[in-house]
Amino acid sequence: MSFIAEQNRYRPDIDGLRALAVTIVVLFHAEVPGFPGGFVGVDVFFVISGFLITGILARSFTAGTFSLVEFYERRARRILPALFVMVLAVLAVAPFFIHAWDIATVGRSVKYVVTSIANIDFYRTLSGYSGDDASLTPLLHMWSLSVEEQFYIFTPVLWLLLTKFTRNPAHWLKLFVVVALISFVATAWTVMRNQSACFFLLPYRAWELAIGGLLALAPTPVVKPVTSRILGIAGLGMILTATFWFTEDTIFPGPWALLPCLGAILVILAGAGASPVFPTTLLRTRPFVIVGLISYSVYLLHWPALVFVNYHEHYSGTEVSWRGTVVLIALVYAGGWLSWRYVESPFRKSETWTRRRIYLFAWSGIGALFLLGGFYQKTPLFMSLLPDGAREMAEARFSYNPLMKEDTSPSELDNPHRYGSPDAVADTVLWGDSHAGSLVYPLHELALRNNRAFLFHGRGGAPPIKGVVCGEGLRPWLSGRYNDDVYETLIHDKSIQKVILAARWAGYTEGYTWAYGPAEKSKKFRNSIINLPGNPPAGSVEVREAFAAALEETVTGLLDAGKTVYFVYPVPELGYTLPQVLANEIVEGRDPGEFEITAEKIYYERTAATIAILDSLPEREGFIRIRPESLLIENGRIRLLHEGKPLYFDDDHLSLEGVRYILSLFEQIF
């Protein structure tokens, strides 16, 4: 049986396809109008990688020349030199573009990038509304390289194991079919439940790489030129349709990812014929091939360059003109060419860089960058260079529960975290999400003073409402079941007399605050945090009605069970990461006390519908409303500082100082 993978010839049209893929990614990330679905370029890259790597493996296994050492050597030559240079450049440039309080995050990312697990780290830190702002993470684009590197690590090992039982190439094909089907089904099922996992993690992206591998292993078809032309045009049309039609509202990846992936398959298949026709002839032209050759370096460089610009915009409030964007993109491509010419190409010459030197270079580079990343993460050097007061202001971002290190795991139903006096009976429960979590330590102090105790049931992104399941990125199968179980426990536990409900209520009805400030800019396209059939957008009637019905049922059930319910109204959100913004005011020579956020829009306008729902909850004995805004809003402005200390540790969570400032509202509980 003859396989496409048996073709051991250079395919300039594949370099042309790479050029198309990297260009639409760059234009999308640069927010150039007209490319709302440019993120699909990464999916095209996955298909290409799956096709090429599987072809290499198939040829070497068929010839009996496969060597795991040689395979990893070739991957190291291809990937590591330009990667190391890019990471070093980011570390060198970051202190001049990024404020000291964010340098540690860059260093932390470096450690995960060089160990090929950046995608896992970003999934953990960027999933859910409490994640870091993706648009300000210089190495975020390395998630895709980590996915590919994990594919490079596992695939040849899996293949070696398979050869212990069979050397029939048809069985390799069956293996890829199984992997592709399992991965695709898993992605289709999970994407509506945990979109973030499907985006970042290899098991949900494996099918895209595997279908590229399937093409490499498929029997070589005899395709007439007219058929090749039809296939190529259809494939190119599918990629461009996804590029121009998809948006960040598209539930992706998942079944929709088939469009660009199958498009890439058709374009590659069309170029396999002996007689090239359009669009293969277009992709083989010199401009496309040159951009394809430098595409890896362009991809490495484009995102950090854009992040450094975005970072400046984030704090200055200015925007780069379209001319500036054009210049920046041109510089990225020029830098990509320089990297390809003077970094990538020399390392591919085996006469200069022998296998021994390549492995020494690889391991020493990984080790050195890991240590350097750790230094950037841990050193106080950059913070010590800040002006007086800026460091203290910036460090308020760590002003949350100091017992958190002891309470590293989520609150378990049968073993909730206990606070207050160890000698008192815990007759009170604090139930909620991360906003409830920010109340914990000051309430712990208050309970201690009064010889009282309370339990904390809570998980970030999980509203304390019976029957509500959260949307993407918030692990809904856990949060929904967990809160239902908490509700049932509270209803039947006679020892619990009081229940405090606290959450980011407006987040569940109205979504993120991207329209009111830069803090959640990267989350602006996400849908409602509540997961409902049809995925209605935040602020829709469907979301608000579902929220109102579930909330009323929860509160009524608790009251009917004889509990006293203390309902904490929304904490005013800011739209700005307060400690960093105030620290930046000092860095820029301005008085942080003069920085103002008016409450008219971000509180009164944004939360109006939510407040109306909360106000409609039944006035019954045992139902007590606690309104933080009564102390946090003054003369139409949100109070940001008290005695020079920020009242928030980010854009919507109260700091320890913030909770202590409103603690008088909770004294009645204990």
Q: Could you report the per-residue pLDDT of 11-40, keeping only the tens digit for each?
A: 999 999 999 999 999 999 999 999 999 999
Return the SS3 of 345.
coil
Between residues 587 and 170, which one has the greater pLDDT?
Answer: 587
CB 229 within 8 A of CB 278: yes
Quick check: is 670 in a domain? no
Distance CA 210, CA 213 (A): 5
On whether both 138 and 276 belong to a single domain, the answer is yes
On whether both 375 and 448 belong to a single domain, the answer is no
Write the DSSP assignment of 393-431 as a string of letters: HHGGGG-S-GGGGT--SPPBTTB-EEEE-TTS-EEEEEE
Quick check: is 234 in a domain? yes
Let me know how long the chain is.
670
pLDDT score, position 532? 67
Select from 83, 137, 90, 85 the least CA-distant residue to 115.
Answer: 83
pLDDT surpasses 80 at 486: yes
Q: What is the mean pLDDT of the chain?
A: 89
CB 64 within 8 A of CB 149: no
Question: What confidence tier does 408 reach under pLDDT thresholds 50, 70, 90?
Answer: very low
On whether both 371 and 451 belong to a single domain, the answer is no
Quick check: is 592 in a domain? no
Provide the number of structural domains found in the chain. Answer: 2
pLDDT score, position 250? 86
Question: What confidence tier does 130 reach under pLDDT thresholds 50, 70, 90?
Answer: very low
pLDDT score, position 132? 47
pLDDT score, position 128? 41
**The three-state (H, E, C) secondary structure of 506-545, written as one string:** HHHHHCCCHHHCCCCHHHCCCCCCECCCCCCCCCCHHHHH
On whether both 52 and 150 belong to a single domain, the answer is yes
**Per mean pLDDT, which range of 243-252, 423-432, 469-478 is the poorest?**
469-478
On whether both 360 and 412 belong to a single domain, the answer is no
Quick check: is 644 in a domain? no
Question: What confidence tier does 124 reach under pLDDT thresholds 50, 70, 90?
Answer: confident
Q: ∠6-8-9 over CA atoms, to 5°?
A: 135
Question: What confidence tier does 236 reach under pLDDT thresholds 50, 70, 90?
Answer: very high
Q: At what angle do helices 12-29 and 258-270 cross, to 10 degrees?
A: 150
Question: What confidence tier does 542 reach under pLDDT thresholds 50, 70, 90?
Answer: confident
Q: Is 282 exposed, middle or buried (0-12, 13-18, 19+ CB in 10 A)?
A: middle
Dihedral, CA of residue 468, residue 247, residue 301 and residue 154, to nearest 10: 60
pLDDT digits (tens, 9 = 90+) for 92-122: 999 998 889 889 999 999 999 999 999 999 9
Peptide bond into 279 cis (omega under 30): yes
Question: How many C-beta atoms lie closer than 10 Å to residue 193's C-beta?
Answer: 19
Question: What confidence tier does 66 reach under pLDDT thresholds 50, 70, 90?
Answer: confident
Select from 618, 504, 619, 638 the least CA-distant residue to 568.
Answer: 504
On whether both 406 and 484 belong to a single domain, the answer is yes
Question: What confidence tier does 478 reach under pLDDT thresholds 50, 70, 90?
Answer: very low
On whether both 91 and 235 belong to a single domain, the answer is yes
Quick check: is 373 in a domain? yes
Between residues 434 and 339, which one has the greater pLDDT?
Answer: 339
Question: What confidence tier does 285 reach under pLDDT thresholds 50, 70, 90?
Answer: very high
pLDDT digits (tens, 9 = 90+) for 566-611: 999 999 999 999 999 999 999 989 999 999 999 999 999 999 999 9
Quick check: is 583 in a domain? no
pLDDT score, position 54? 92
**What is the share, in percent, of the chain residues with pLDDT greater than 70?**
91
On whether both 219 and 305 belong to a single domain, the answer is yes
The pairing of strands 417-420 and 453-458 is antiparallel
Quick check: is 649 in a domain? no
Q: Model-level pTM? A: 0.83
What residues have CB less than 8 Å from 61, skipping those under 6 apart? 159, 163, 167, 169, 172
CB 452 within 8 A of CB 483: no
- Round to the nearest angstrom and report the end-to-end CA distance of the chain: 78
Question: Which one of 318, 350, 384 terminates a domain?
Answer: 384
DSSP 8-state class, residue 572 = P
Q: ∠622-625-626 over CA atoms, to 5°?
A: 130
On whether both 331 and 454 belong to a single domain, the answer is no
CB 614 within 8 A of CB 659: no
CB 598 within 8 A of CB 636: yes
Residue numbers of the domain that contains 18: 4-384
On whether both 411 and 361 belong to a single domain, the answer is no
Quick check: is 167 in a domain? yes
On whether both 380 and 311 belong to a single domain, the answer is yes
Domain of residue 613, CATH code: 3.40.50
CB 543 within 8 A of CB 468: no
Select from 524, 550, 547, 528 the least CA-distant residue to 537.
Answer: 528
Q: What does each C-alpha distance from 528 to 507, 513, 543, 545 come to in angstroms? A: 8, 12, 7, 13
On whether both 345 and 408 belong to a single domain, the answer is no
